[in-house]
Amino acid sequence: MDPMLIGIVAVGASGFAVGLAAIGPGIGQGFAAGKAVEALARQPELRSEIISTMLLGQAVAETTGIYGLVMSLVLLGIAQNFL
Amino acid sequence: MDRFMEGPETLFRVGGIPITDTVFIGWIVMAFLLGAGFVVARLLKDRPKGMQAYAEIIVNGCKSLVSDTMGSDKLGFFPFIGALVLFIFISNILGVAGVRPPTSDVNITMGMAILTFLMVQYYRAKAKGILGYIKSFGDPIVFLFPLNIISELAAPVSLGMRLFGNILGGSIIVALIYEVIPVAVPIPFHMYFDIFVGAIQTYIFAMLTMVFVKMAME
């Protein structure tokens, strides 16, 4: 296979990796924040507890997005060897 | 831009082991923390003033974080968690000074995550006994043994990668903005990606460490 083609495909794939991986965490974090706002409206006195639980949940939801970012960086590193 | 894409640079070698700039900056952060702690501890007074007052705010904040999350009977973890919080936070906000943050090196974040992983395994074995520890991997059916091991290994990987990805991603975005408009515009991005994300990720790393250890001890 042409090395140039491998490099181009790797660069394109790195863009797709981070772009597609951003969808899930975006939905998940927004959902967690929305539910946290609902909980805050119902029980404003639990503010600090709700916010810390929300941040923890969002961090766990974010993990797949970060995997996508790491994968895209790895692909860019591979592409550098071919271009 | 290229500086952040090419990863840590090797500064010098000690006996064939390459010392990169992130590791070296990490040493400087540790030396700063040790020195600041030593100086503040020598000058303790009954009426806190100046540096001692700030140090007491930080120490009490970390202490209440540990006691709120793990319970006041597990304050023995406070030195470990406090050291993690201070090191990660100072490392993260170093990006403001244009220095490559030590936490944007996967070796450093994964090192801390592996430390957490070993701690979790140790406290689980301590709480359940060696036999109960081995048995806990065959839960609920023996056939799930490999899956349980994978899920156990996924926790430290996600813990280390989350911190690394967030900080490195932030540095790359800020570096890209510097390429386009190098004046004034990067300031709010620095505030968001280095200070806000840095603080949030510090909190989350410490919080998840405490939750994992607490779950292992039950």
Q: What residue ranges do the domains of chain B occupy?
A: 2-217
- CA–CA separation, B149 vs B152, rounded Å? 5
| Residue B118, both tokens | 């070993």
- The verdict on B214 touching A (C-beta cutoff 8 Å) is no
- The verdict on B116 touching A (C-beta cutoff 8 Å) is no
Nearest CA in chain A to B200: A55
- The verdict on B200 touching A (C-beta cutoff 8 Å) is yes
Average of pLDDT values for B148-152?
A: 88
The letter for the amino acid at B62 is: C
Contact assessment for residue A7 and residue A83, using Cβ atoms and an 8 Å cutoff: yes
- The verdict on B168 touching A (C-beta cutoff 8 Å) is yes
The whole model's pTM is what? 0.87
Model confidence pLDDT, tens digit, residues B69-115: 888 888 888 999 999 999 999 999 988 888 888 998 888 999 999 99
Contact assessment for residue A59 and residue B162, using Cβ atoms and an 8 Å cutoff: yes
Query: Band of the pLDDT at A32, cuts 50, 70, 90?
Result: very high
Above 0.90 for ipTM, yes or no? Answer: no
Whether pLDDT at B1 is above 60: no
Distance of CA A28 to the CA centre of its chain: 10
A66 vs B5, B166, B211: nearest CB: B166
Nearest CA in chain A to B65: A52
Nearest CA in chain B to A48: B68
Residues in chain B with CB shorter than 8 Å from the CB of A67 are 158, 161, 165
Model confidence pLDDT, tens digit, residues B109-144: 999 999 999 999 999 998 888 888 888 887 778 888
Whether pLDDT at B47 is above 80: no
Calculate the alpha carbon distances from B169 to B2, B164, B198 in Å: 14, 8, 12
